[in-house]
């Protein structure tokens, strides 16, 4: 192994270990240290990973797709397209977690799994937009044409992100509001558990992005080697 790729492998391993340790710490904080919420009971503990999942999707994941799509259109560098694809995939995973854990919390609290209120509906629309983005990438083949189409889609699709974020202020909604005019409306130990979960999931996003983009980089190397082999075979056969 070359020293550059060896260093990269060590750095990735270190990142995985730190992420794993921080997730364990976040689990202990959420399930053991944070106090039991008086009204909702233990189901409130789901919130410590529901909210960070939504943060990853709306914050880093889809915003990185947006930024890298602009970067691709500006420079034409395929590496931006690959990283945008990886970030969108992780964003869909975290949006799926948000959409699954929300109803699991809602059933014992609201009495229903789902209600068509603005935050839930716009989040479901967001999920469909980025599943569409991944489908587009899988059917459009490889190369600059797919990258161009994906980049335009990644920029236009991002419009739903601020709508999801602002939905609880723009419309009447039953979705809980975490932030009030005086900061977090929670016990300080709950805020600590939430902050640690946010940090753990943000690091998990970075780790997954590095791993997934690394896979896509190797896939690009496979495509390049296959093209080189075809060229060599043609030169050998053309004689």
Partner 1 sequence: MSNLGFLTLGYGLIWALIGAYVWFISHRQAALRRQVDQLRVEVDEAATKLVREQ
Contact residues toward partner 1 (CB under 8 A) are 41-43, 45-46, 49-50, 53, 90, 93, 96-97, 100-101, 104-105, 107-108, 204, 208, 211-212, 214-215, 218-219, 221-222, 225-226, 228-229, 232-233, 235-236, 239
Dihedral of CA 118/119/120/123: which sign? Answer: positive
Minimum distance of partner 1 from residue 238's CB (angstroms): 11
Residue 151 or residue 198: which is nearer to partner 1 going by CB?
A: 198
Between 71 and 79, name the residue whose CB sits nearer to partner 1. 79
Q: Which residue lies nearer to partner 1 by CB, 75 or 226?
A: 226
Both structure tokens of 142: 């490889």
Alpha-carbon distance of 107 to 102, in angstroms, equals 9
Tokens representing 195?
A: 């902050």
Residue 176 C-beta: closest distance to partner 1, Å: 16
Burial bucket for residue 100 (CB in 10 Å: 0-12, 13-18, 19+): exposed
Q: How far is the CB of 183 from partner 1 (least distance, A)?
A: 26
Closest CA to 167 of 198, 109, 126: 126
Give 39 or 188: the residue with its C-beta nearer to partner 1. Answer: 39
Cβ proximity to partner 1: between 100 and 135 the closer is 100
Residue 192 dihedral angles phi and psi, to the nearest 5°: -60, -45
Minimum CB distance to partner 1, residue 200 (Å):
11
Least CB distance from residue 89 to partner 1, whole Å?
Answer: 8
User: What end-to-end distance do the CA atoms of the chain give, in Å?
Assistant: 36
User: Residues near 107 by Cβ (< 8 Å), separated by ≥ 6?
Assistant: 113
Three-state secondary structure readout of 18-70: HHHHHHHHHHHHHHHHCCCECCCEHHHHHHHHHHHHHHHHHHHHHHHHHHHHH
CB of 47 to partner 1, least distance (A): 10
- Of 31 and 74, nearer to partner 1 (C-beta) is 31
- Characterise 143 by phi-psi region: left (phi > 0), alpha (psi -120 to 50), beta (else): left
Q: Which is nearer to partner 1, 101 or 202 (CB)?
A: 101
Least distance from partner 1 to the Cβ atom of residue 233, Å:
6
């Amino acid at each position: 192994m070359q020293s550059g790729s060896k260093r990269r492998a060590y750095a990735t391993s270190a990142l995985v270990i730190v992420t794993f340790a921080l997730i364990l710490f976040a689990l202990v904080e959420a399930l053991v240290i944070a106090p039991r919420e008086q009204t909702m009971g233990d189901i409130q503990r789901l919130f410590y990973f529901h909210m960070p999942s939504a943060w990853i999707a709306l914050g880093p994941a889809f915003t990185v797709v947006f930024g890298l799509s602009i970067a691709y259109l500006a420079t034409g560098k395929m590496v931006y397209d690959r990283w945008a694809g990886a970030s969108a995939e992780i964003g869909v995973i975290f949006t799926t977690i948000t959409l699954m854990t929300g109803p699991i919390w809602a059933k014992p609290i609201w009495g229903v799994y789902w209600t068509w209120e603005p935050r839930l509906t716009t989040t479901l629309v967001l999920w469909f937009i980025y599943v569409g983005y991944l489908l587009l990438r899988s059917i459009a083949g490889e190369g600059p044409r797919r990258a161009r189409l994906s980049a335009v889609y990644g920029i236009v699709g991002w419009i739903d992100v601020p709508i999801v974020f602002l939905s609880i202020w723009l419309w009447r909604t039953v979705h809980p509001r975490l932030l009030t005019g005086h900061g977090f409306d929670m016990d300080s130990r709950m805020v600590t558990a939430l902050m640690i979960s946010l940090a753990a999931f943000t690091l998990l996003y970075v780790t997954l992005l590095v791993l997934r983009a690394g896979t896509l980089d190797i896939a690009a190397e496979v495509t390049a080697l296959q093209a080189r082999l075809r060229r060599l075979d043609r030169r050998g056969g053309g004689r």
